[in-house]
Structure 1
Amino acid sequence: MKSHSSTLLAEVRTFRQNHPDVRYVDLIALDIPGHFYGKRYPIEMLEKVAAGSPLKLPQNAVLLGVQGGLFKIGDYCFNDGDPDANRRLVPGTLKPVSWESQPLGQMLITSDGTEAPIEFEPREVLAKVLERLHHKGIHPVVAFELEFYLFDKKLADGLPQFARDPLSDDADDQPNLHIERLSRFSDVLDDMAQTAKAQGIDITVITAEIGPGQFEINFGHLDDGLRAADWAALFCRSTRGVALKHGYRASFMAKPYLQYPGSGMHVHVSLYDAAGNNLLAAHQQQPLRHAVAGCLELLPHCMPIFSPNHNAFRRLGGTVNAATRASWGFEDRDACVRIPESDPRNLRIEHRLASADANPYLVLAAILVGLEHGLEAKREPIAPLNDDRSSGTDFPVEMLDAVRAMQHQAVLRDKLGAEFVDVYCENKRQDHLAFQQEIHAREYRWFL
């Protein structure tokens, strides 16, 4: 513990030397809906925390709904006295924030690794899954890909407007994959990439996607699943900040336009043993087939994680590469689980179903549990789409049905934790019901 504290203290002191104008640091963590919460600490107090002073925040901050409100979930929030829970600093995540008007720093915090972790904290859920896999000799390597849209900074009657092409000042309202769009928006895209790199995130490929103002950013492969999910979470935060600085809004909303493609979170996962051998490639790739079968079996029960809100369900069955059934295939982007072409060393799955606004810790945890279950059950998957274009199994396409499918699934309750499953499902149920408590103008047009 002393060695750990000394490392953190050195990190904070080095940061202060390199950034003497920074007076405050945001200590942040991701809640269940995927929003950051936390506190802004004076840099001197951060040194005390790094040296071992307690860091406590309300336990129930993790349970906030999409709009920030608290729901009654069991005895949490209203019958538990709203207790504090210990958090710890995540080493290596203290970085400068360049998109604010004043010099600022930020650092991730978490309850995982404390004496009493919060069972339903997203990072803790993933940490437990990874720890169990490591004990079994399974070492995942992970890479995220995130799609997002750029909009004009100003909304029109609450609705998004197309991003303005900085060269022509015309709306970027034509869906295309043209490389020139990367050049036209190079100022903001380059700033996003450089800002992400300053956060320690390995940005690789940038793509102009099909939707107007839509782009995709790929991250490097990591043998640390927690850090890979950290990257995805931090990238969303920095990207939104940089976009505003340049006069845009960046959004990871799953389906901002009905007529254009939605935004997804694609996750590449390969599994290795301690010696570095690819477990999926052994025995003529039979473990790969088992792993795919496990993913597909649990996928219908993980829909509240992959599609975490009403809008995310709109993306399913959309205009481009958004599956409507649990399916798999080789080099097939219509499949939920795609097997990219690769050599045996890099054999992996690409899980394509999650929406871009899903919680990256929980998405990765659900995928890994599916792979783990498949390797244990050793079942054969359904036919790939390459052999049968109609192959696939149904999954829920509405939140309340999805919650019912998730809450009592035995494998998920065992491997993700029963307490987490109950809390998460009730959070999603209450968020969905709260969303329905507003009468839309369309209802008046139809029924008044």
Structure 2
Amino acid sequence: MKSPSATLLAEVRTFRQNHPDARYVDLIALDIPGHFYGKRYPVEMLEKVAAGSPLKLPQNAVLLGAQGGLFKIGDYCFNDGDPDANRRLVPGTLKPVTWESQPLGQMLITSDGTEAPIEFEPREVLAKVLERLQHQGIHPVVAFELEFYLFDKQLENGLPQFARDPLSGDADDQPNLHIERLSRFSDVLDDMAQTAKDQGIDITVITAEIGPGQFEINFGHCDDGLRAADWAALFCRSTRGVALKQGYRASFMAKPYLQFPGSGMHVHVSLYDAAGNNLLAAHQQQPLRHAVAGCLELLPHCMPIFSPNHNAFRRLGGTVNAATRASWGFEDRDACVRIPDSDPRNLRIEHRLASADANPYLVLAAILVGLEHGLEAKREPIAPLNEDRNSGTDFPVEMLDAVRAMQQQPVLRDKLGAEFVDVYCENKRQDHLAFQQEIHAREYRWFL
């Protein structure tokens, strides 16, 4: 077997041979709010990193707020000297960037697998959860589904406008599921799909969703949870870039229009043992019921992850398939945890609560912790919606309440890491307070 450095070096050299005009490569990682940060490296310097030279970025880049600012969180940011932390290249992720004007590459970097991983880095949080499950003989298979809106490239007074139908030139303001919308927007959708495939992402089904200019992309089922979350993160980046190139604006914002459905991140998860047996299907599906109970028990405490900003909470209780309580059901899209109809081999849960702009690493980590907790606790879940349409437990619907519910939850502190929980909750609290520091024109209309 090749050493990690030899494998990476071969990957970089192959990229240079295949893309001789690309002089730079963006080295990128996802921060807590779900934005990419990183550095643009000359490709020849990337060879040195692949060969073993140190790759360091500020540790506190992970702590950036939604607008890129730094918050005082414990001793981080302002009392720690803003130290660097080691990162490593993620093998297999060096790909061309085709949506910018100049040839370019991009590659994921991470602190997981380094000598001193950053405890609150999203990818590291997920890596620890997956490692613990692997030691227990549990192997998740994961598939993400992401909804997003296309808007006109130009905003009007800061507000999004309906995407223009390429054939008629009119605003695509008719919400529907018609297949013709896929044909009318085929140029940009095909470009998005092909660009994603060029990034190594397994794109499957494309759907025209109910909102005007709203679409959904499904990814293939993946037996590597980190790679599945990588796909979701990279798809968001490439899709925004392709949309701008094609004359649109793409957004994974949770609720861009109050009168139309929001955009969600649906995650399918099944669990297998080393022999390939579906753990959820054993013993007349009793483990499935336990796993569902664990997910529902922790769900109210994971709301800052599933609804990571003020706008995401607007999506809850919306017009279509957006739950207002922690619930589950068989083939029921009103449930937070849906059990799709399948044979025992493919039995799985579909977690439907997270907004499309949530951090995919953290969403998957929270779901897996819920499943793990349920399998350990072996409790029975509440009645499914198929039996009782009023079944469900309440969860917080405002950020500060959600943060309080998350921060003191002992299972989350144990299984996601107490340091991560404290840092994440304070980041969300500070972001929410910063968001409130602007007086909207409506306040003057109401109260002046």
SS in 1 for 2:100: coil
* Aligned equivalents of 1:103, 1:162: Cα separation in 2: 31
Secondary structure at 1:416 match in 2:
helix
Distance apart, 1:334 and its partner CA: 0.0
Give, in angstroms, the shift of residue 272 of structure 1: 0.1
Query: C-alpha offsets along residues 204-257 of structure 1, whole Å, 9 cap, x if unaligned?
Result: 000000000000000000000000000000000000000000110000000000
- Measure, in 2, the Cα distance between the counterparts of 1:19 and 1:139: 36
Instruction: Measure, in 2, the Cα distance between the counterparts of 1:169 and 1:160.
Output: 17
1:279-309 CA-to-partner distances (Å, cap 9, x unmatched) read: 0000000000000000000000000000000
Post-superposition offset of 1:61: 0.1
Tell me what 1:316 maps to: 316
- Give how far 1:404 is off: 0.1
CA distance in 2, matches of 1:334, 1:249: 29
Aligned partners of 1:10 and 1:19: how far apart in 2?
14
User: What is the alpha-carbon root mean square deviation over aligned residues?
Assistant: 0.6
Three-state SS of the structure 1 residue aligned to 2:165 is: coil
Change (3 A) 1:2 1:84: farther
The residue number in structure 2 matching 1:98 is 98
Given the superposition, is the C-alpha separation of residues 115 and 2 from structure 1 closer, same or farther in structure 2, using an over 3 Å criterion? farther
Q: What is the Cα deviation at residue 101 of structure 1?
A: 0.3
CA–CA separation in structure 2 for the residues paired with 1:109 and 1:437: 34
The CA deviation string for residues 394-447 of structure 1, in whole angstroms up to 9 with x for no partner, is 000000000000000000000000000000000000000000000001101111
| C-alpha distance in structure 2 between counterparts of 1:210 and 1:371, whole Å | 30
- Indicate the residue corresponding to 1:422 in structure 2: 422
Alpha-carbon distance between aligned partners in 2 of 1:35 and 1:385, rounded to the nearest angstrom:
36
Deviation of residue 36 (structure 1)?
A: 0.1
Q: What SS is found at the alignment partner of 2:3?
A: helix
TM-score normalized by the length of structure 2? 1.00
What TM-score, normalized to structure 1?
1.00
The Cα shift of 1:126 comes to 0.0
Q: What does the per-residue CA deviation read over 1:300-336, in whole Å, with 9 as the maximum and x for residues that have no partner?
A: 0000000000000000000000000000000000000
Count of residues in correspondence between the two structures: 448
What SS does the corresponding residue of 2:434 show, helix, strand or coil? helix
Cα distance, 1:393 vs structure 2: 0.1
Runs of 4+ in 1 over 4 A off after TM superposition: none
Tell me the secondary structure at the aligned position of residue 357 of structure 2: coil
CA offset at residue 203 of structure 1?
0.3
2:132 is aligned to 132
Q: Which residue of 1 aligns with 2:408?
A: 408
Instruction: Classify the secondary structure of the residue corresponding to 1:190.
Output: helix
Where does structure 1 lack aligned partners over 5 or more consecutive residues?
none
SS of equivalent residue, structure 2 residue 419 = helix
Give me the whole-angstrom Cα distance separating, in 2, the residues matched to 1:2 and 1:356. 38
- Listed one character per residue, the Cα deviations across residues 61-111 of structure 1 (whole Å, up to 9, x for unaligned) are 000000000000000000000000000000000000000000000000000
What CA distance in whole angstroms lies between the structure 2 residues aligned with 1:17 and 1:422?
45
Q: Helix, strand or coil: the match of 1:7? A: helix
Q: Structure 2 CA distance, aligned partners of 1:197 and 1:423?
A: 35
- The CA distance in 2 between the partners of 1:152 and 1:233, in whole Å, is 23
State the distance in 2 between where 1:186 and 1:212 align: 15
Q: Distance in 2 between matches of 1:93 and 1:202?
A: 13
Question: How far apart, in 2, do the equivalents of 1:202 and 1:167 lie?
Answer: 29
What displacement does 1:2 show? 7.4
2:351 aligns to what?
351
Question: For 1:71 and 1:166, how far apart are their aligned partners in 2?
Answer: 43
Deviations 1:15-65 (A, max 9, x none): 000000000000000000000000000000000000000000000000000
Q: Secondary structure in 1 aligned to 2:105?
A: strand
Partner residue, 2:30? 30
